[in-house]
Amino acid sequence: MTVVFLPVSTGPLSLVAPARRPATRSLTVTVLPGLAEAVVLSVRGEVDMSTGPFLQRALLSHLANAAPQVTVDLTGVSFLGAAGLAVLVNVKRAAVAAESRLRLVAHTRVVLLPLTITGLDSEFDIYPALADVPSWQDD
């Protein structure tokens, strides 16, 4: 299942000429096939204050289903802003409360730099590729 979020606008349309409207940002969250006990979500696009709430709802909905492990593949993320970091922190807290394991897949500077600068890289289990993520049963 793939869900695409497209904001209606990025500002007041009446003040921006049609030829000069900013490009619409999109965020895609896809549930990858796998085991029922381990959900893998692939995220593509920009994670900022306009797309962050959508991503948070998508991730929390899978934690609500009590999967022992949720893996979020961020290799397709082209921007990770402060709002995106807040989403990851909130989802991590929810995972701990649900006794679920949250794992991130990331290898790009766009994702790793904000996590490292803020010290959040030490708060998450981060793997460079999906193939490197251990099974939830291996813990």
List pLDDT tens digits, range 123-133.
999 999 999 99
Q: Is the pLDDT of residue 49 over 90?
A: yes
Q: Is the pLDDT of residue 41 over 60?
A: yes
Distance in Å from the first CA to the final CA of the chain: 28
Q: Which of 103, 85, 83 is nearest to 34 (CA)?
A: 103
76: DSSP letter? E
Please give the average per-residue pLDDT across 53-64, as a whole number: 90
Q: What is the pTM of this model?
A: 0.80
Structure tokens at 53: 């709430």
Share of the chain above pLDDT 70, in %: 76
Q: What is the CA radius of gyration of the chain?
A: 16
- Report d(CA 126, CA 85) in Å as an integer: 14
Do residues 35 and 5 lie in contact, with contact meaning Cβ atoms separated by under 8 Å?
A: no
List pLDDT tens digits, range 91-125.
999 999 998 899 999 999 999 999 999 999 999 99
Q: Is the pLDDT of residue 59 over 60?
A: yes
Please give the average per-residue pLDDT across 48-65, as a whole number: 90
Homologous superfamily (CATH) for 36-130? STAS domain (3.30.750.24)
Do residues 73 and 43 lie in contact, with contact meaning Cβ atoms separated by under 8 Å?
A: yes
